[in-house]
Amino acid sequence: MKNSISYLPPEKSRASLNPFTLNVEPLKRLLLVNFNKDPDSVYLGFEPQLFEDEVMGKGLLVIAWRKDEEVDVYHAPSLSPDPDKYDIAGKGLNLMQETEFSSSLFDIQEAGVSVDIVFKDRFGRLVEIMIHEQNPKSREPFGLLAPMGMAAKHPSAMPLIWLHEFYFVRRKKTNYHIRIDGKSHSMDKLPLPLDFSWMYFSRYSNLPFILTLNPDFKGGLGPDGLNPIQTTLWKEMGKFREIEEIKVCEGSLSYKMGFRPAFPDFANMEGGQTVEGKFEIFGHPSCGKVSGSYLVRTADGDSGEIVLDPNGGWQPSEKKWVLRLIYALESGFKRWPKTYQWKARWKFSEKACAFESKWSRV
């Protein structure tokens, strides 16, 4: 797609601005345990997460998924989670509670996952999550984009949870119990065999990459955007610069947001223009990509708006026929990004840029 863009005369030019923010949340491993078909009076599932990070801290956090689609978060005293970041989960945060875990084993090895987590919930009930998978058959992990953003009602960012080395808990050679206040609950089962093995729907990743795209923002915008650790590849055009790609890294992994054509230097566009293009977000090939379209519209030389539509959804790159079938039957896996839309408005006063952006579900 080609656009003819008119920029301000060089003598009136401003500093080029980056309106996009890719934040990375460090996470060592995670497990999702579902018991929707045998629910508790409050909870439908648990999501243990293990952190080893200088900012977040080191320790265990458990997201408890509630029947009302909100979440309770229980975390070790050694962690310092931000409550505002959990509005991207379901209908948002109901409770965040510091908790002493009397057992906090969470390990993933070749034989599978090994978990023994015990704590008390907000009602004083003992919660026990024990899974010991000892299957001698080699795992064949894969990658995917977790549909975490599917249930969010009022997201303050777009959650892109890329799960590398992802696999389901195998039924054979697995001992487990999920108990709440002494009552046992059965884990949901995957309806089809995978890699010639029957699986539980409980699944885990030893290498998650949590990317939050464009958190809601209101304030002044500078030339480097809002995340100082992201790297921007600019297309130089004399005094003007267009964005070709933005990159973020965490450990051995990196993800990119690329634009075709390059995203225009909106701070220097003349008024009365509309520019359109495409974007892709991608990293390790096993996890596929998210794609969509962008639009930039200037009202005058000092103000305008940007619209980001992930209308291409998620395109998996998986070759296993069972997973392709699951993604086809459960359309939410691929479709949920299409229900998000990001809008931003800017206005210059002198050479300072007032910028406001927000996500909505469409």
Strand 71-75, strand 93-98: pairing: parallel
Residues contacting residue 20 through CB under 8 Å, at least 6 positions apart? 213, 214, 225, 243, 246, 257, 263
pLDDT number for residue 127: 98
Residues contacting residue 96 through CB under 8 Å, at least 6 positions apart? 72, 73, 75, 81, 83, 86
pLDDT number for residue 224: 67
Residue 66: how many CB atoms within 10 A of its CB? 19
Percentage of the chain with pLDDT > 90? 74
pLDDT number for residue 323: 84
**What is the phi/psi pair of residue 86, to 5°?**
-95, 10
pLDDT number for residue 2: 58
- Over residues 6-14, the mean pLDDT reads 90
Weakest mean pLDDT among 54-58, 91-95, 119-123, 305-309 = 54-58
Weakest mean pLDDT among 16-25, 40-49, 137-146, 221-230 = 221-230
Weakest mean pLDDT among 139-143, 236-240, 290-294, 350-354 = 350-354
pLDDT number for residue 25: 85
pLDDT tier for residue 11 given thresholds of 50, 70 and 90:
confident
pLDDT over threshold 90, residue 49: yes
- Over residues 235-262, the mean pLDDT reads 93
- Over residues 284-294, the mean pLDDT reads 95
pLDDT over threshold 60, residue 7: yes
Greater confidence, 326 or 343?
A: 343
Reported as a single tens digit per residue, the pLDDT across 104-163 is 999 999 899 999 999 999 999 999 999 999 999 999 999 999 887 777 778 899 999 999
pLDDT tier for residue 277 given thresholds of 50, 70 and 90:
very high
- Over residues 17-31, the mean pLDDT reads 92
Q: Is the four-CA dihedral 212, 92, 219, 347 of positive or negative sign?
A: positive
Structural contact between residues 247 and 254, judged by C-beta atoms closer than 8 angstroms: yes
Give the SS3 label for residue 88. helix
Round to whole Å and give the CA distance between 94 and 39.
Answer: 18
pLDDT over threshold 60, residue 86: yes
Mean pLDDT across the chain, nearest whole number?
A: 92
Reported as a single tens digit per residue, the pLDDT across 322-331 is 888 888 777 6
pLDDT tier for residue 287 given thresholds of 50, 70 and 90:
very high
Residue-wise DSSP of 271-339:
SS-EEEEEEEEE-SGGG-EEEEEEEEEEEETTEEEEEEEEEEEEE-----HHHHHHHHHSTHHHHGGGG
Q: How far is CA 89 from CA 44, 47, 147, in A?
A: 14, 11, 10
Structural contact between residues 264 and 2, judged by C-beta atoms closer than 8 angstroms: no
- Over residues 159-183, the mean pLDDT reads 96
Q: Which two tokens stand for residue 339?
A: 């229900």
